[in-house]
Amino acid sequence: MKTICFYFQVHQPFRLRRYRFFDIGEYHNYFDEFANRSIMRKVAEKCYLPTNKLMLDLINEFGSRFKIAYSISGTALDQFEMYAPDVLVSFQKLAETGCVEFLAETYSHSLSSLKNRAEFENQVTAHSDRIKELFGKKPKTFRNTELIYSDEIGAMVADMGFKAMLTEGAKHILGWKSSNYLYNNAINPKLRLLLKNFRLSDDIAFRFSNHGWSEWPLTAEKYVSWLKKIEPRDEIVNLFMDYETFGEHQWEETGIFNFMHAFPRKIFNDGHFEFLTPSEAAEKHQPVSILHVPHPISWADEERDLTAWLGNDLQDEAFNNLYSFTDRISRIDDSDIQRDWKYLQTSDHFYYMCTKWFSDGDVHKYFNPYDTPYEAFINFMNILSDFTIRVNNKMKEQGVPNSSTPEEVASMLKTLEEKVKELKEFQKMNAPKKKRVAVKKAPIKKAIKNKVEDKVKPKEEKTKSQKTNKGSEPKKVKGLNNLKSTTLKKR
């Protein structure tokens, strides 16, 4: 009997508010409270609550024969508690059935596995503890952010005690092999790998409501007929997708709920398949070979690589600047800074900076609240500039040695200035032709430098400097006004 493994990713980021250059050093609230609350409630009503009810009804109808798995990011769990406690209760009811497995992942749905092992392990531990606290069981299976996986990442996961891990069945990795088997990690063979069947998964997640698709409309009967056509020797079909597929990405009007309601019944009527959780599937089936993945893969886009998050200079610059804080954050005892550090690591912030506007452009635009990747970058870097000031001030307040240097701060300023220039060029090329107010380079450069220096210098030095430079203030303000009107994001 072949195994069907249904896994759903549940995630919501803490979205950033529009953070202006002039907010640096003045305001430390980075997150858009209204957007986060309203989006969570909207998705709760359209997806989480009705889909959880559907899953609970299916479990009540079929008992232990119907099983599913979830990975809920820590940021989603936090938002459930803040904005949608009814959703959290509905997941807890599913947990009580014993037919649902909750997986571990990074707490903030971060890319820490690519940058810092200690931070990665800390987040996984924090998430596992949270899952046990809320749902009563410590996770046995691991699912990394966006199914990101490599041999080295798998070895780290195995070292943390996990027996199984989910990842993408990427064609360029598998070659002639099939995703419908279990595999071993190349460094630590004790870790078993479950690979997503991307074609059958994406038929539901992406193509279900596409009227231009040759297989539309997709019914449960048709889908089960495809499952029956897989190779007789294949052992497992892993159907991995975003939970928001139900009701949010595919609206109720498309028939997605009716499809899911009918699907288990058609499976059981056929008699050739069973539903198992990832940990159960990993225990039942034996791996057929080692899977070599020397470079990281993911489940995103056609390339199944990292370019959705780390594919251009904007993303790389923001990513490297963010993780330059790792050592300093670990030595600071401040809950607000620790919270912001955690939420700023969410992978969505880098996804918004993606410049891929070809084969996967529509997908990126659908999930992006910014008009351009440059806007996402400038907004994020403005926040990091303020975060730098807060971290340095807190280290000084707590007597913690500061490893950052003036050169590092100057480097960040230089990068920000260069990206502002790139943004201006981008806006110039794409804006309708009209008379534009020119901004001299010198006032901009001087304005940025003076503002940052003003935020980081000691109070008494600041007072002295204000007296000394009193005569030059009008010129400085003029430069900043020009910067505000021409280089920052559209108001």
152 catalytic, yes or no? Answer: no
Those residues with Cβ within 8 angstroms of residue 161's Cβ, 6 or more apart along the chain or in another chain: none
Torsional class of 71: left (φ above 0), alpha (ψ -120 to 50), beta (otherwise): beta
Among residues 355, 357, 323, which one has the least CA distance to residue 342?
323
Are residues 220 and 262 in contact, defined by beta-carbon separation less than 8 angstroms? Answer: yes
- Scan for tokens 């005569």, then name that residue: 471
Those residues with Cβ within 8 angstroms of residue 168's Cβ, 6 or more apart along the chain or in another chain: 147, 149, 195, 196, 198, 297, 298, 299, 304
Q: C-alpha dihedral over 295, 296, 302, 307, to 10 degrees? A: -100
Q: Which two tokens stand for residue 362?
A: 């529509």
- Alpha-carbon Rg of the chain, whole angstroms? 25
Select which of 101, 105, 119, 146 is catalytic: 146
Sheet holding 164-168, edge to edge: 141-143, 164-168, 192-196, 182-185, 289-291
Q: Which two tokens stand for residue 214?
A: 């040759």
Are residues 213 and 224 in contact, defined by beta-carbon separation less than 8 angstroms? Answer: no
Q: C-alpha dihedral over 116, 117, 121, 122, to 10 degrees? A: -40
Q: Which two tokens stand for residue 390?
A: 């807060």
Those residues with Cβ within 8 angstroms of residue 339's Cβ, 6 or more apart along the chain or in another chain: none
In the three-class reduction of DSSP (H, G, I as helix; E, B as strand; rest coil), residue 61 is classed as helix
Amino acid in position 264? P
The whole-angstrom separation of Cα 214 and Cα 202 is 14
Q: Which two tokens stand for residue 285?
A: 């089936």
Q: Which residues are catalytic?
A: 146
